[in-house]
């Protein structure tokens, strides 16, 4: 049986006391739960996988969480149900939601209804760099005394969490192009009421919901069209796909282009690597120019920072305020984050998983540590990375790695073997290209190999968008035990 939801009940009622979130342990859903709790609502939730750290986080907020997606979780009946995109129409709790005809919203709809309507939403979208760019924007505003509300897909170090509530003008939100809910199959960012936006990149991704690049272009093009004429879009205009969208007139608002091309309004000039920091020069419109000291490595992060500078200048902030504030950025968890150093061996955690992101991350770290042996450890975990669509692209993504260790994938049940990514095949391709590469059946085998072969001066880069079986802590413990 599938849930039969009444479209007319897809709304927030006038009087709300109790809000229940189905799928509450997702990063965004848990953040939303915390925000609603802070607003004074009685909040409950349910999820299939209830474990730390999210279970501990919700418990610290005194938000009760029930395990599973059972019909009885909607008794007593809440005033409003928020449905996460992990929830399927066949789950008993979703079926009961339809049977009871309770009011319901998706996570993006709820964020817009409760937190964006009376703010100036600043939406950061793009295939790559959303979390870092949104965090840099929120932190820089904070340092300038304009602390915004925000919801971001990573823990922002300046705040120690991925959300914030403020009474100020701005609300920074990471604009995800992934779909909204089983009853609303559109990209999340279409709900975020964008007034100003940054678009870092548009590439093929999320192969489980987008059949091709054209469908991704279409959803970004629709998003561009949602920005009002009094707003602005800061776009990486030298990106071929973004340039095509702009040429098609998808945006009706002013467009501020950034990049390295001389035609861009904001141009990245010289960059200088300084360990895990970068200094870069830039030039803007009307003779604006300067040097930014960025506490992040890599050309791609310089471009992300330039986008933030361009947007903040458009909002009326002057460069002498922006640049010192940006220089104090503490970073984002899981983005080129050093997890520990043992016996001279550095273990770095990074969220990169798309081939372009892997390549950019390794290039940045190679520039930061030109003399070190970079050991890349990759977990193909997403629906896209486990498909053969990126098999060839990954063969080019690890060029800056001295050594590559690849974990075997968990097979996708809905795809024949010839359409699935092969870790063994990637390792063989990399070896033919002259690189030291191996595939491993499980995480324990990778830890064994690293413990036996790592040496002082190595930089081990763990690349995954998931927990990777807690490989970071386990590896550091093994390295310490071998001291």
- Examine the domain organization and report whether 200 and 320 are in the same domain: yes
Residues 201 and 164 in one domain: yes
In terms of domains, do 474 and 404 share one?
A: yes
Q: Are residues 55 and 134 in the same domain?
A: no
The most confident of the ranges 42-56, 216-230, 385-399 is 216-230
The last residue of a domain, from among 110, 134, 164: 110
- For residues 367 and 244, membership in a common domain is answered with no
Helix (H) or strand (E) holding 279: strand 277-283
CB 360 within 8 A of CB 343: no
Q: What percent of the chain clears pLDDT 90, i.e. is strictly above it?
A: 67
Residue 189 has phi, psi (to 5 degrees) of -65, -10
Q: Which of 52, 82, 110 is the last residue of a domain?
A: 110
In the predicted model, is pLDDT for residue 292 greater than 90? Answer: yes
**pLDDT interval class at 80 (50, 70, 90):** very high
In a domain, 2, yes or no: no
Rounded to an integer, the average pLDDT of 341-353 is 87
- Compare 385 and 143 and report the one with higher pLDDT: 143
Q: What is the mean pLDDT of residues 223-252?
A: 94
Is there a single domain that holds both residue 358 and residue 308?
no
Q: In this model, does residue 461 exceed pLDDT 90?
A: yes
Domain boundary among 279, 296, 328: 328
When pLDDT is averaged across residues 385-397 and rounded to a whole number, the result is 81
78 vs 478: which has the higher pLDDT: 78
Q: Does residue 208 surpass a pLDDT of 80?
A: no
Task: With respect to residue 455, please indicate whether it lies within any of the assigned structural domains.
Answer: yes
Query: Phi and psi dihedrals of 160, rounded to 5?
Result: 75, 15
Please provide the size of the chain in residues: 483
Whether residue 183 lies inside any domain: the answer is: yes
- Are 321 and 348 in the same domain? no
Give the pLDDT confidence score for residue 340 in this predicted structure.
87
In-domain check, residue 204: yes
Helix or strand holding residue 375 (H, E): strand 374-378
pLDDT at 174 over 80: yes
Average pLDDT over residues 164-170: 90
Q: How far apart are CA 11 and CA 300, in angstroms?
A: 40
pLDDT of the residue at 411: 76
Segment 163-179 shows an average pLDDT of: 92
Mean pLDDT for the chain overall: 91
Q: Lowest-pLDDT range, 26-35, 50-59, 160-169?
A: 50-59
Nearest to 148 by CA among 180, 127, 124: 124
**Model confidence at 483, in pLDDT bands (50, 70, 90)?**
low
The structural domain count of the chain equals: 3
- pLDDT tens per residue across span 82-138: 999 999 999 999 999 999 999 999 999 999 999 999 999 999 999 988 999 999 999
Q: What does the alpha-carbon distance between residue 320 and residue 311 come to, in Å, rounded to a whole number?
A: 15
pLDDT at 319 over 90: yes
Q: Report the DSSP pairing between strands 403-407 and 436-440.
A: parallel
Q: Is 71 helix (H, G, I), strand (E, B) or coil?
A: helix
Q: What is the extent of the structural domain holding 34?
A: 8-110
Give me the phi and psi of 233, to 5 degrees please.
Answer: -115, 120
Q: What is the pLDDT of residue 206?
A: 78
pLDDT of 184 above 70: yes
Over residues 133-153, mean pLDDT = 95
Q: How confident is the model over 226-236, as a mean pLDDT?
A: 97
Helix, strand or coil, per DSSP, at residue 465:
coil
Q: Encoding tokens for residue 72?
A: 């009885």
pLDDT at res. 57: 85
């Amino acid at each position: 049986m599938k849930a039969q939801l009444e479209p007319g009940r897809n709304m927030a009622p006038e009087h709300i006391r109790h809000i229940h979130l189905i799928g509450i342990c997702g990063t965004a859903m848990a953040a939303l739960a915390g925000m609603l709790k802070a607003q004074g609502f009685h909040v409950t939730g349910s999820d299939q996988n209830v474990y730390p750290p999210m279970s501990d986080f919700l418990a610290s907020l005194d938000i009760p969480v029930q395990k599973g997606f059972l019909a009885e979780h909607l008794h007593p009946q809440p005033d409003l149900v928020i449905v996460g995109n992990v929830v399927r129409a066949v789950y008993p709790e979703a079926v009961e939601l339809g049977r009871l005809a309770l009011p319901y919203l998706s996570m993006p709809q709820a964020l817009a209804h409760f937190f964006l309507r009376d703010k100036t939403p600043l939406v950061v979208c793009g295939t790559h760099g959303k979390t870092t760019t949104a965090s840099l924007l929120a932190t820089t505003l904070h340092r300038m005394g304009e602390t915004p509300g925000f919801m971001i897909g990573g823990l922002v170090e300046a705040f120690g969490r991925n959300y914030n509530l403020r009474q100020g003008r701005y609300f920074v939100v990471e604009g995800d192009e992934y779909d909204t809910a089983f009853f609303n199959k559109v990209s999340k960012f279409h709900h975020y009421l964008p007034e100003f936006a940054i678009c870092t990149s548009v590439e093929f991704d999320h192969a489980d919901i987008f059949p091709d690049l054209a469908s991704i272009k279409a959803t970004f093009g629709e998003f561009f069209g949602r920005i009002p004429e009094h707003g602005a879009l800061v776009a990486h205009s030298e990106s071929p796909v973004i340039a095509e969208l702009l040429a098609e007139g998808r945006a009706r608002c002013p467009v501020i282009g950034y990049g390295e091309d001389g035609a861009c309004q904001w141009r990245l000039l010289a960059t200088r690597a300084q360990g895990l920091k970068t200094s870069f020069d830039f030039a803007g419109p009307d003779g604006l120019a300067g040097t930014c000291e960025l506490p992040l490595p890599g050309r791609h992060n310089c471009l992300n920072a330039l986008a933030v500078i361009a947007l903040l200048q458009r909002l009326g902030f002057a460069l002498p305020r922006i640049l010192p504030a940006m220089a104090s950025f503490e970073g984002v968890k899981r983005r080129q984050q050093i997890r520990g150093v043992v016996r001279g061996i550095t273990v770095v955690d990074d969220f990169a998983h798309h081939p372009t992101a892997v390549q950019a991350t390794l290039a940045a770290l190679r520039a930061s540590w030109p003399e070190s042996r970079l050991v890349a450890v990759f977990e193909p975990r997403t629906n896209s990375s486990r498909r053969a669509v990126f098999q060839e692209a990954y063969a080019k993504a690890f060029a800056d790695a001295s050594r590559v260790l690849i974990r075997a994938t968990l097979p996708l049940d809905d795809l024949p073997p010839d359409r699935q990514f092969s870790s063994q095949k990637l390792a063989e391709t990399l070896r033919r290209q002259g690189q030291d590469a191996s595939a491993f059946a499980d995480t324990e085998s990778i830890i064994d190999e690293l413990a036996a072969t790592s040496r002082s001066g190595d930089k081990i880069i763990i690349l995954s968008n998931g927990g990777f079986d807690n490989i970071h802590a386990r590896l550091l413990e093994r390295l310490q035990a071998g001291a």
